[in-house]
Amino acid sequence: MGRFLEFLRDVIKGIVIGIANVVPGVSGGTMMVSMGIYDKLISAISHLFSKMKEHFLFLLALLIGMAIAILGGSVLITWLFDRFPFQTTMAFIGLILGGLPMICRKVKGQKKKAGHFVVFAIFFALVILMAVFSGTTGAAADLTPTATTMLVLVLVGIVTAGTMVVPGVSGSMVLLMLGYYNPVLQTIRDFMAAIKDRNSEQIVFCLKILIPFGIGVILGIIAFAKLIEMVFKKFPQYAYWAIIGLILASPIGIILLSVGSFGTLTVLTVVIGIICLAGGAFAAYNLSGE
């Protein structure tokens, strides 16, 4: 029973990560940190083949959760942001901030160096600058399945995966800037509709787009995971200070990206938003196992 509950808990974490990767401006990597699984996940991916038996159930649970979120959650999240943009944004900010105490404990009691604060400032500024300069998105990419398009999709998947596993950087925001976010999301929706309608021709068409992109994502995650694991082994305190900078800057970046969609804020809206923020922080804190 205990292992099943742990598996279910990891599925829920996967759902949160998957939803974060669907929302532009929200970092899946930050959610991994907030829920206390970042180090474990990076290690599991880096040693995927050498320690498959040890990490299999953990990775399977996360993949199931992410699949549920990306395939089914894209519609729900779009609806929530359309109907309740401020409250939904506050909930995500809460999820991000809820993991901050756990990261702060990683640097507590450690000797502080000037380099730590420099790294903190650089990565804090990186997130803010990305939010400021991401107002201009790329033109929507043409996803007509050709050999060239499939190769480009693999490369785009690699870049997106790299940003997905870096805390504070939004993979979906990078996709949006490259012009692939809306076309890829629409292809996922078309794929789900085609399965429902049993439209085999449309299913094959969508798979010609989603499979190359998925291959790129897998390759990118494996490559970047190994790089990140090396950084954590050689420079752990610098890595944690970088993550603290990314986490603290993320709410500011998200608000900068979302403020135009909030509309008119009433006292009730703000109060509910604060409750959502507190609820998100509470959920992240408890999912982290702290």
**Ordered DSSP codes for 117-159:** HHHHHHHHHHHHHHHHHTTSPPPPPP----HHHHHHHHHHHHH
Residue 276 has pLDDT above 90, yes or no: yes
| Of 190 and 185, the one with more pLDDT | 190
pLDDT in the model for residue 136: 47
Radius of gyration of the chain, Cα coordinates, nearest whole angstrom? 19
CA distance 223 to 124: 24
Exposure of 222 by Cβ count < 10 A (0-12 exposed, 13-18 middle, 19+ buried)?
A: middle
Question: What is the pLDDT averaged over residues 72-88?
Answer: 77
| Range among 136-140, 162-166, 210-214 rated most confident | 210-214
Q: Are 239 and 231 in contact (CB under 8 A)?
A: yes
CA distance 272 to 183: 33
Q: Return the DSSP state at 141.
A: P
pLDDT in the model for residue 32: 83
- pTM (predicted TM-score): 0.65
Both tokens of 262, joined, read 């909030």
pLDDT in the model for residue 134: 57
Both tokens of 230, joined, read 């090396």
CA distance 30 to 17: 9
pLDDT-based confidence at 74, cuts 50/70/90? low
Angle, CA 59 vertex, CA 55 and CA 20 arms, to 5°:
145
Both tokens of 48, joined, read 């995927």
Read out DSSP for 238-270?
HHHHHHHHHHHHHHHHHHHHHGGGS-SPPHHHH
Residue 9 has pLDDT above 70, yes or no: yes
pLDDT in the model for residue 268: 93
Residue 281 has pLDDT above 60, yes or no: yes
Q: Looking up tokens 């000797």, which residue turns up? A: 111
Rounded mean pLDDT of the chain? 82
